[in-house]
Amino acid sequence: MKGRIHNFNAGPAAHPLPVLKEIQVEFLNFKDSGMSIMEVSHRSRWFEGVIQDAKERVRRLLELDENFHIVFMQGGASMQFCTIPMNLLPDGQSADYVNTGTWATKAIKECTIQGKPAKVVASSEDKGFSYIPGEISFSPDAAYAHITSNNTIKGTQWASFPDTGGVPLVCDMSSDIMSRPFDVSPFGLIYAGAQKNLGPAGATLVIIRDDMLKRVPEDLPTMLKYTTYTGHNSMFNTPPCFAVYTVQLVLKWLEETIGGLDKMEQINREKASLLYRTIDESGFYRGTADEGSRSMMNVTFRLPTEDQEKQFVQQALEHGLSGLKGHRSVGGCRASIYNATSLEGVKVLVDFMGEFARTNG
């Protein structure tokens, strides 16, 4: 049997090894309940302890005050694309969207198919979504301004969040949540599918400010209303218990092992700097994102030919480096270096990249 490899998958993605080991230890008998976490009732004290601890850790890590509600939903970020305008875009108003690629494009589509106006105030489509737009004029009367903090496919990321002039920011942070500290006060809603930087697929973290909840219409379907989740501690129906439990353990690892988001950002910047420096200095690899817009989470690059890219991915796998094929829509190569990807793993990758360039350049 093969041992564990270095996992650069874009999602579902790597988990911290200590978290996986803790799950392994507790899996058959969670907290002396005599049951697996997958078997305990979501109404039990055992699971209520899990979800409460997860929420408290989110609040501490992001420094959220009591104006923010923390809930766990299902359906991934894709469900949020339609749920957000349903809940937060009143009749007679429009919302601003910044289009930075695939996921932002999908969010815009899900707004407009409801017959709700989504105003694209900025886009990087003119250069293949290879950069984050600057100097954006947001509409002062917009219901909200939607951005995608990190583009997993094109390898771009907002280095700092835009000034909307007081319009509430709504942000898809699926692929860089908890990777760095930031000021939460401009955000009306933050959402993140868990499967990239938080835990397994199946849970979606939603953080919503109290004033935004007041917009939620009464006549929406029950399971598509944010107030259903805030009013029932995310347990109106059975939540994705195992996924939430794993998220709780990842948050504990971030807080107690890593030491918080400042420390996590330092590690992430070191990993990304090492990888980008290898690309830039190689004369063989070529980064695809503009330098000022490069992602700390998803490093995208090309080789001189597509045949060499295929060889690179295959030989990398033979060397215990998995998940380096670019997204099918763009090709090329991509190394996703989320929180759980170790610096040691990135060092193994850059050593392999150096050797591959020497033998194929």
Asked if 98 and 172 sit in the same domain, the reply is yes
| 85 and 192 both lie in a single domain | yes
Q: Where are the alpha helices (DSSP H) in the chain?
A: 17-26, 45-62, 76-88, 102-112, 210-213, 226-231, 241-252, 261-282, 306-318, 343-360
Same domain, yes or no, for 132 and 142?
yes
Tokens of 67: 């104006």
103, 158, 176, 253: the catalytic one is: 103
Residue in 229, 224, 194 with CA at minimum distance from that of residue 208: 229
Domain termination residue (choose one: 236, 258, 280): 258
Query: What confidence score (pLDDT) does residue 3 get?
Result: 82
Q: Is residue 22 part of a domain?
A: no
- 20 domain-assigned: no
Instruction: Answer yes or no: do 191 and 89 share one domain.
Output: yes
Cβ–Cβ under 8 Å, residues 178 and 254: yes
Q: Is the pLDDT of residue 287 over 50?
A: yes
- The pLDDT tens digits for 78-94 are 999 999 999 999 999 99
Catalytic residue among 196, 225, 271, 325: 196
Could you report the per-residue pLDDT of 85-124, keeping only the tens digit for each? 999 999 999 999 999 999 999 999 999 999 999 999 999 9
Report the phi/psi class of residue 233: left, alpha or beta, with left for phi > 0 and alpha for psi in -120 to 50.
left
Tell me, yes or no, whether 160 lies in a domain. Answer: yes
Q: ∠ CA 304-308-309 to the nearest 5 degrees?
A: 90
Say whether 215 sits in a helix, a strand or coil: coil
Say if CB 216 and CB 31 are below 8 A apart. no
| Residue 172 annotated among the catalytic residues of the structure | yes
Given a cut of 80, whether residue 2 has pLDDT beyond it is: no
**pTM recorded for the entire structure:** 0.97
Q: Check residue 329 and report its DSSP letter.
A: T
* 29: number of Cβ within 10 Å: 12
- Residue 191's nearest CA partner among 85, 49, 112, 116 is 85
Question: What is the arithmetic mean of pLDDT over 201-205?
Answer: 97
Quick one: 253 and 356 in the same domain?
Answer: no
What is the structure's pLDDT at 1?
A: 39
Q: Is residue 21 part of a domain?
A: no
Question: What is the pLDDT averaged over residues 138-144?
Answer: 98
Judged by phi (left if over 0) then psi (alpha if -120 to 50, else beta), residue 66 lies in alpha
- The enclosing domain of 119 has a CATH number of 3.40.640.10
Q: What is the token pair recorded at 247?
A: 């998220």
Residue-wise pLDDT for 240-276, tens only, equals 999 999 999 999 999 999 999 999 999 999 999 999 9
Decide if 24 is inside a domain: no
Q: How many C-beta atoms lie closer than 10 Å to residue 192's C-beta?
A: 26
Q: What is the DSSP letter of 305?
A: S
Helix, strand, coil shares, percent, the chain, to 5: 40, 15, 45
Q: Pick from 212, 227, 258: which residue ends a domain?
A: 258
Which token pair is 249?
């353990």
Of 199, 284, 238, nearest in space to 229 by CA: 238
Statement to judge: residues 265 and 252 lie in one domain: no
Per-residue model confidence (pLDDT) at position 361 = 85
CB 234 within 8 A of CB 213: no
Average pLDDT of the residues of the chain: 97
Residue 141 has pLDDT above 70, yes or no: yes
Angle between helices 306-318 and 343-360 (to 10 degrees): 130
Assess whether 145 and 283 both reside in one domain: no
Claim to verify: residue 226 and residue 334 sit in the same structural domain: no
Report if residue 11 sits inside a domain.
no
Domain hosting 118: range is: 30-258
What pLDDT does 93 receive?
97
% of the chain surpassing 90 pLDDT = 99
> 151 - beta bridge partners?
156
Task: Indicate the residue type of 145.
Answer: A
| b/e 336-361 (16+ beta carbons within 10 angstroms → b) | bbbbbbbeebbebbbebbeebbeeee
Q: Are 239 and 297 in a shared domain? A: no
Tally of CB atoms within 10 A around 63: 13
pLDDT digits 0-9 by tens, 206-236: 999 999 999 999 999 999 999 999 999 999 9
Cα 39 from Cα 29, distance rounded (Å): 10
Residue 271's domain is classified under what CATH number?
3.90.1150.10
> What type of residue sits at position 357?
A
Q: Are residues 95 and 39 in the same domain?
A: yes
Residue 71 lies inside a defined structural domain of this protein: yes
* Average pLDDT value for residue range 181-198: 98
Based on the fold, state whether residues 168 and 73 are members of the same structural domain: yes
Q: Residue 68 — φ and ψ, nearest 5°?
A: -105, 135
Q: Per-residue pLDDT tens for 12-38? A: 999 999 999 999 999 999 999 999 999
Tokens, residue 299: 């490093």
Structure tokens at 350: 């850059």
Q: Which of 46, 96, 158, 172 is catalytic?
A: 172
The rounded Cα 260 to chain-centroid distance in angstroms is: 17
Of 234, 258, 282, the residue at which a domain comes to its end is 258
**Which pLDDT tens digit goes with each residue over 44-67?**
999 999 999 999 999 999 999 999
Distance CA 298, CA 293 (A): 11
